Structure 1
């Protein structure tokens, strides 16, 4: 099995992660990710140690405690495909976190190795999350910037993307695996996939024209790892495709390089960002 995909364990106990990626398992430096599917009353607790952490309530409602501070009723949407932003809780390193499900809930925990954070624990509400409409035609997709460069954090970058059935995403192909000031930033990245209906899959190619070229077919609950290279996504007709991206690197900057083979369709200024607006 390729090392670029972590497969979901749908039979995991409700207080154990259904999928998990650590820096050690990925063979990289910073990025960690795991997902829990909780029943009402379930509790998950862990220590952050040297990890900046974000708890993202993807579906359902939870209480989230960071040390002695509790954020109540975090999250309200029923599905990641709802026209609604998630809620999250940010924690700096060296804190103890406890998650208590108040309803059936799906919760992602994103981490980045760091000795320092940015400020104290805080709640990230839908009104804090800009909405972006990116691309057009068969490259149209919809992005919610949960924790981007404009939000305080030391390492973590988080966005979620919904791609209409039959469309392309993470497109034109781009990479961020070198630290070139003003041009490109080194960022390790994970893609956590969900599908509507859930029996779907996507195609994701990860390639660098040198040492790596794989085509992956993640299913509902799988995680694709992008240690380097370009990484476009195709959503098959009939299946809306959701993914949650976690990125972390040496510096907290989303700077990328487009694949020159796609220069004829790339924006002239090289900026693939779309129209950003504030939308709850």
Structure 2
């Protein structure tokens, strides 16, 4: 079965070291860029953040990073996203850096956007990533928060989501495509661009993601397989993963606020009242898991 022809799903191109590459121009939005890259031991990659802030997530393997903002001689350690909690590096604008692969199979993802102000570089270690078990019943999932709302950066938000096999995620469906504030000035909903970047623990694994607006002007269902990226420019965006296949996705977001303020689809909020307990299979990854 082939992937959807939707322009919202980006398949990997493993003929290139940078096998996913998304820019505001290619995505048709304003802020967020995203790439994923494979490296082998001894290889290096250099880049300059320019006017952007950047978050780099080690999906698997180990690397070293040297920059004009500091050096990090060993980042990473988990063999894959299913082997433990993440190492994440936040870099501010005007950072020149070099990544050198230390292990045979380094897999990394990085997202960036133009920064409104500058914050210090920061290494978010596995023990720094807050873990939340969210939802209930067959909509329970694990959230690892690396650059959550409140993190000292300009726009980026970065989290990992683990969904047990057969479960739903990003459910009830929610959206964050308009900037709305309450009378007291508190934020009700942010206008955010979002990328879902998928991994599965077996190569044939898959999930389905629906993206739809309230007026159904946009209403698509996409087949997401390993290393596919899905663009969520607007609308509600729930996910379901196949039985037998735990699903991982990396969420990177940027937009009108460094926030995850969202609104649920009112047709589905009643489901929350039916949840009696959370899925006992969670957490799927922990700090204690072997990362060697």
**TM-score (structure 2 length as normaliser):** 0.87
Q: Verify the 8 A CA contact 2:69 2:121 in the aligned structure 1.
A: no
1:39 equivalent to 2:40? Answer yes
Question: Equivalent of 1:8, from 12, 20, 39?
Answer: 12
Counterpart residue number, 1:53: 54
Partner secondary structure for residue 36 of structure 2: strand
1:183 equivalent to 2:184? Answer no
Deviation per CA, 1:109-138, whole angstroms, max 9, x where unpaired? Answer: 1112224232x2121111211011112221
Aligned residue runs from structure 1 range 137-216, under 5 A: 137-181=137-181, 182-210=187-215, 211-216=217-222
Distance in 2 between residues matched to 1:122 and 1:254, nearest whole Å: 21
Partner secondary structure for residue 271 of structure 2: coil
What is the CA-CA distance between 1:70 and the residue it aligns to? 1.3
Structure 2 gap segments, 5+ residues each: 182-186, 275-281, 288-292
1:225 equivalent to 2:231? Answer yes
Distance in 2 between residues matched to 1:97 and 1:22, nearest whole Å: 20
Distance in 2 between residues matched to 1:68 and 1:131, nearest whole Å: 28
Counterpart residue number, 1:65: 66
What is the CA-CA distance between 1:65 and the residue it aligns to? 2.0
Partner secondary structure for residue 132 of structure 2: strand
**TM-score (structure 1 length as normaliser):** 0.91
Deviation per CA, 1:79-105, whole angstroms, max 9, x where unpaired? Answer: 1012x2110111111211211110021
Deviation per CA, 1:213-235, whole angstroms, max 9, x where unpaired? Answer: 00010111110000000000000
Structure 1 gap segments, 5+ residues each: 269-274
Distance in 2 between residues matched to 1:65 and 1:144, nearest whole Å: 26
Q: How many residues align?
A: 267
Deviates most, 170-179 or 41-50: 41-50
Deviation per CA, 1:171-190, whole angstroms, max 9, x where unpaired? Answer: 00000000002311111000
Deviation per CA, 1:124-174, whole angstroms, max 9, x where unpaired? Answer: 111211011112221111110011013211111000011111000000000
